Structure 1
Amino acid sequence: MRSMIKTIVLTTMLTMLSVWTYAQDWKLAKDEDGIKVYTRSMEGSKYKAYRGIVQIKATPEQIAQLQENATTSCAWLYRCQQLKVLKQQGREGWTYMRIEMPWPVTARDVVLHVTSEQLASGGFLRRLKGVPDYIPPVEGYIRVSSFDGTWQVTPKTADNVEVIYEAQSEPGGSVPSWLANSFVVDAPFNTLQRLRKTAESR
């Protein structure tokens, strides 16, 4: 019995330490207009992960509606050129997005497998996973080779939610370091800023 208790305590401590260490890896890169953006290095990749956090005067249902409308979403997603739903099956969806890039960098496109789940808090969690081979390559675009991200929406009051947008990707091809470094800050910041503006203007 004592051995079991020790094992449980040790496992709990190790889990807490792991979570604490992971949290400490995030470094604040921007704190402006009520939006905080953090970045962290990823082992085995030269591209950083990012996490953006903002509070929006809206309900989880309103945020969900804005995300599920492809036309509306493209208007507030950073550098979105085109967004369309390829397939929808219950809580699963497959979407295709074209991403504008500054000259002379070639534009990118990405295919995402999106899964959604309701949370006990009344909010929801969406997981985004890149599936680059889901459709054939498109001429004029470089396919994002890897993408992992989440959207977590948590209600704070009856009409206020916290939105956390987190992602890391391998853009494929060659991307200048200055663009890669700016993108991991600009993407979450501008996306959340535009999402908030869209949600609160309705």
Structure 2
Amino acid sequence: MVRAITLLLAGLMWLAPVQAERIAPAPGDDWQRASRKGDNSVWTREVPGTAVKEVKLEAVIDAPVEQVWRTIAEIEAYPDFMPYIDAIEVVGSDEDGELVYHRVSPPLVSKRDYTLLIVNEEDPEQGQYYRYWTPRNEQGPEPRSGVVRLEICDGSWALSRREDGRTQATYWVYTDPGGSIPAWLANRANTVGLYDILKAVERRAQDLSWQQEGND
């Protein structure tokens, strides 16, 4: 009986969800500016052991932080405005956050998919918001024929309220698109794509008709 209980407890411990660790860029000043557009800059950094780089966007979004956060947080609406998002499905949750399946349809290459654990941290009084994500493919749908499964996709949004009413934003991501895409092309796509994401989020946050619809 004691042996049976021990085995049962061991099984339950094995099944227990792994506590999520807060995902954020590693400390250090090794970032290199890749491009700049007005108040917004994209930075890249080498990752030891791989040819794929981290990328980071530091930007000022012309919208209040509450509206930017709401835009980012309403993830099921992403197919309506986010570039290349083909499908989004919340497939579950645990004590850490939501499990969300994504399928993207980038130009010229096969579709990609992945399931992420997404965790939100909010401090409305201070006007500070943080969201991070990390892969949890084992807790999402099985791989699909013709769709490349991403195994690396860590990232975060950090938002804070500015005195001028706009939003200070940092978007960081480390991802490998997989498949046969060479590293140099993946790095270029990751860098250029950040401005597209920024523009999409800003336009959505500024959309007064969408704001009114959400308040009805």
Q: TM-score, normalised by structure 2?
A: 0.74
Task: Note closer, same or farther for the CA distance 1:118–1:70 as it changes in structure 2 (3 Å cut).
Answer: closer
Q: Is the 8 A contact 2:76 2:90 kept in 1?
A: no
The aligned counterpart of 1:107 is: 111
Using the TM superposition, give the Cα deviation of residue 57 of structure 1 relative to its aligned residue in structure 2, in angstroms.
2.9
Q: Does 1:196 align with 2:202?
A: yes
Alpha-carbon distance between aligned partners in 2 of 1:131 and 1:89, rounded to the nearest angstrom: 12
Cα RMSD (Å) of the superposition?
Answer: 2.2
Alpha-carbon distance between aligned partners in 2 of 1:186 and 1:76, rounded to the nearest angstrom: 17
Q: How does 1:86-97 map to 2 (within 5 A)?
A: 86-88=91-93, 92-97=97-102
For structure 1, list consecutive stretches of 5 or more residues without a partner in the other structure: 1-17
The aligned counterpart of 2:85 is: 80
Deviations 1:120-140, CA, capped at 9 Å, x for gaps: 742111111111222211222
Q: Is the 8 A contact 1:91 1:117 kept in 2?
A: no
Task: Note closer, same or farther for the CA distance 1:27–1:78 as it changes in structure 2 (3 Å cut).
Answer: farther
Using the TM superposition, give the Cα deviation of residue 147 of structure 1 relative to its aligned residue in structure 2, in angstroms.
1.4
Using the TM superposition, give the Cα deviation of residue 91 of structure 1 relative to its aligned residue in structure 2, in angstroms.
6.3
Using the TM superposition, give the Cα deviation of residue 158 of structure 1 relative to its aligned residue in structure 2, in angstroms.
6.3
Q: Does 1:55 align with 2:57?
A: no
Using the TM superposition, give the Cα deviation of residue 60 of structure 1 relative to its aligned residue in structure 2, in angstroms.
2.8
Task: Note closer, same or farther for the CA distance 1:74–1:52 as it changes in structure 2 (3 Å cut).
Answer: farther
Q: Is the 8 A contact 2:129 2:158 kept in 1?
A: yes
Alpha-carbon distance between aligned partners in 2 of 1:53 and 1:74, rounded to the nearest angstrom: 24
The aligned counterpart of 1:37 is: 42
Alpha-carbon distance between aligned partners in 1 of 2:86 and 2:40, rounded to the nearest angstrom: 24
For structure 2, list consecutive stretches of 5 or more residues without a partner in the other structure: 1-25, 209-216
The aligned counterpart of 1:157 is: 163
Q: Equivalent pairs: percent with the same residue?
A: 23
Q: TM-score, normalised by structure 1?
A: 0.79
Q: Is the 8 A contact 2:51 2:183 kept in 1?
A: no
Alpha-carbon distance between aligned partners in 1 of 2:119 and 2:76, rounded to the nearest angstrom: 19
Alpha-carbon distance between aligned partners in 1 of 2:54 and 2:194, rounded to the nearest angstrom: 10
Using the TM superposition, give the Cα deviation of residue 43 of structure 1 relative to its aligned residue in structure 2, in angstroms.
0.8
Count of matched residue pairs: 181
Pick one of 112, 118, 124 that aligns with 2:122: 118
Task: Note closer, same or farther for the CA distance 1:154–1:37 as it changes in structure 2 (3 Å cut).
Answer: same
Alpha-carbon distance between aligned partners in 1 of 2:177 and 2:136, rounded to the nearest angstrom: 13
Q: Secondary structure at the match of 2:88?
A: strand
Alpha-carbon distance between aligned partners in 2 of 1:75 and 1:164, rounded to the nearest angstrom: 22
Q: Is the 8 A contact 2:68 2:202 kept in 1?
A: no
Deviations 1:75-98, CA, capped at 9 Å, x for gaps: 443322222222245761111111
Alpha-carbon distance between aligned partners in 2 of 1:91 and 1:61, rounded to the nearest angstrom: 22
User: What one-letter code is carried by the residue in structure 2 that aligns with 1:67?
Assistant: I
Alpha-carbon distance between aligned partners in 2 of 1:30 and 1:198, rounded to the nearest angstrom: 24
